[in-house]
Structure 1
């Protein structure tokens, strides 16, 4: 009887074009990642043009991170009821509004609001597309989530290259932001024309009560907490590396380009790696390499910085999609809610950490300036002055100090994931009803 029901569900969704839906999903995530990559690349420029402090820049950057969890958690609660297609139409509209408002921004508050809109759009994309990919590929979830999420570092890689090349050509940051309109319009059009399946949880007949019960299990709570650390390690470092190491190297943005380039390749090759080491084994190896990479970036200089970025990129490469894949495979009854709570936890943690570390970065700089000096006067001093030189010197050590503090997080994750590996060795993988 179970097999009969499952086959009927497959027949009902036979008209779903899996490949086109996957491509459109990747384009929507590309917009999300371009927003991260381009914003990371122009953050310093925005600070200069609008006379913003590191704390104000941190507030703007953090807005994307707390707009994301707001959308992804609400989306996770309603996606089964309203369907994935309607959520993605909402994402398209918020992306469009946020990008246009960014282009015409005039200061802190317009940048704050536009970044919030883009953050909400990004969270809505994840709220719909993570369960969509898991539904489209029920027998290969972790691998396909890695393939889907390669477009996150892929978009950051493209975005940082756009910033780097356009700045060399003298093209303003508004045009750089406007580039995001192209994939936005394309994914909005594709999703409007395609038919969508119901989520895997609904198709399998798992009740809403069972779904909520699943997100209260000890294993889910453990992974939920670990998501704080994996997200901070990957996203805070990636978003802020250009600011933190700006005075350590002339090409700080290339560090992010190298990191994300490695992540694209790694996620594209996820299938044999995940099958060889298991999701929990991959997470353990990732935490070790991420800790080494961040520590190296905080201590080395010159060409070794790029080698450190390579190690860091390999380390964080599998974090986000493998965390989601682990939950989808080992706590399948948590459904779309489980996946989206994980994403929301990660982005919320990054938003809080970013705000805290922005203030910490300002305090580190202030400590290295002459006693009683005005941070504002030194930060806005004209190039070539004594004040400007002292401010740059303070930044030279403050940025790496922030990275050293962040390196503690993947060290803690190493211990946590070592425990997870031992726990999972004797645990039988659960099955969804009807699977």
Structure 2
């Protein structure tokens, strides 16, 4: 029987996530292309055109989550490839808000299918190091954003080439991940391995701890991705090249996630989340009062904060609520992206009617709420763990 090549599957997964992440950076650069100084869309209109990247992602994850168990990881992965390919071609052909909306929807569905299939695959391949390996996998979300931001800067700002060529560079990692996945044997999900029934999986979604984590995911994702997705408009009066700030933020995030193992060991997931909320709040607040070179210092604090949010939220659920299965991870990711789809047009409206500093101040309310929520989670998990030790 053909064995599973974990290293090749993990590498292919990372390449797929690079495609997902590059679309975020490239879309951020497209804001100026389609904005008031380009095609002529308002910032609020662009916010609506970009929302399918997030609710399309949510739709794909909610639908794809249960299908990963029934259809298998392999089929959902190839569906992600097809959606990505269509979305990239459609983006290159986009000329107005409607075509940009449709293109973004296909890209969003592709991105959602990547997360729906590959998060549970990694959790099932590395059952003893779930949070650590999910953090390593998610190195390539900020890593891919760095790549995408630098590609956008080089292709358009330095070389003066068209935005269509910038979007076309997405075909490179897309083809690479297709080749790496081709002909490979995929594992079954952890829920299937554990023999947990579909009925029990759905019942576990009513667990109060899971519901609490879903609510927190709405706020963590909006804090991170709502800010970085609109970086061009938020920082255009503070620094000369906001895309370089985006690359800087995500470079720090990639390094942090690469060495997440040591931090996880010391803080545990709940401690990491509280740490992240505190630094995210301070970073957003600093971004409202800095300009020039000091913007990078504020961005560094923000980056340290958001580094561990997404993978640790997923890792927490995979580690402490494994009975929720692939669907649980999909609901978490879907909730996160859904919140961003709500936040983007609201931020656009704030920026159209007020200024970027006001939008950032409003965004800082989210991590402030999370500080309170994660303090409670930290105390709860500490008490729960001590009770388990006493019983043993």
Note whether the superposition's TM-score is higher than 0.5.
yes
Match of 2:345 in 1: 355
Q: Does 1:340 align with 2:320?
A: no
Match of 1:410 in 2: 367
Q: Which runs of 5+ in 2 are unaligned?
A: none
Q: Does 1:303 align with 2:260?
A: no
Q: How does 1:29-428 map to 2 (within 5 A)?
A: 29-47=17-35, 48-166=37-155, 167-364=157-354, 398-428=355-385
Decide whether the 8 Å contact of 2:350 with 2:358 is kept in 1: no
Q: Secondary structure at the match of 2:288?
A: helix
Q: 2-side partners of 1:19 and 1:192: how far apart?
A: 14
Q: 1-side partners of 2:16 and 2:241: how far apart?
A: 29
- CA displacement at 1:105 relative to structure 2: 1.4
- CA displacement at 1:305 relative to structure 2: 0.5
Q: 1-side partners of 2:278 and 2:232: how far apart?
A: 23
TM-score w.r.t. length of structure 2: 0.96
Q: Which runs of 4+ in 1 moved over 4 A?
A: 428-431
Q: Which piece of structure 1 moves more, 250-259 or 319-328? A: 250-259
- CA displacement at 1:173 relative to structure 2: 0.9
Aligned length: 386
Decide whether the 8 Å contact of 2:87 with 2:106 is kept in 1: yes
Decide whether the 8 Å contact of 1:330 with 1:429 is kept in 2: no
Q: 2-side partners of 1:296 and 1:193: how far apart?
A: 49
- CA displacement at 1:428 relative to structure 2: 4.4
CA deviation digits over 1:32-87, x for unaligned, max 9? 00000111123112223321111111012212011100000100121100001000
Q: 2-side partners of 1:428 and 1:212: how far apart?
A: 25
Decide whether the 8 Å contact of 1:42 with 1:163 is kept in 2: no
Q: 1-side partners of 2:146 and 2:29: how far apart?
A: 11
Q: Secondary structure at the match of 1:427?
A: helix
Q: Which runs of 5+ in 1 are unaligned?
A: 1-11, 365-397
Q: Secondary structure at the match of 1:299?
A: coil
RMSD (Å) for aligned C-alpha atoms: 1.5
- CA displacement at 1:103 relative to structure 2: 0.9
Decide whether the 8 Å contact of 2:139 with 2:257 is kept in 1: yes
- CA displacement at 1:190 relative to structure 2: 2.2
Q: 2-side partners of 1:418 and 1:255: how far apart?
A: 30
Q: 1-side partners of 2:386 and 2:232: how far apart?
A: 42
Q: 1-side partners of 2:241 and 2:119: how far apart?
A: 34
Match of 1:28 in 2: 16
Q: 2-side partners of 1:415 and 1:116: how far apart?
A: 35
Decide whether the 8 Å contact of 1:126 with 1:343 is kept in 2: yes
Decide whether the 8 Å contact of 1:262 with 1:310 is kept in 2: yes
Bigger radius of gyration among the two: 1
Relative to structure 1, the CA distance from residue 320 to residue 429 in structure 2 (aligned partners, 3 Å threshold; closer, same or farther) is farther
Q: 2-side partners of 1:430 and 1:20: how far apart?
A: 40
Q: Secondary structure at the match of 2:238?
A: coil
Match of 1:8 in 2: none
Q: 2-side partners of 1:339 and 1:72: how far apart?
A: 9
Q: 2-side partners of 1:251 and 1:185: how far apart?
A: 30
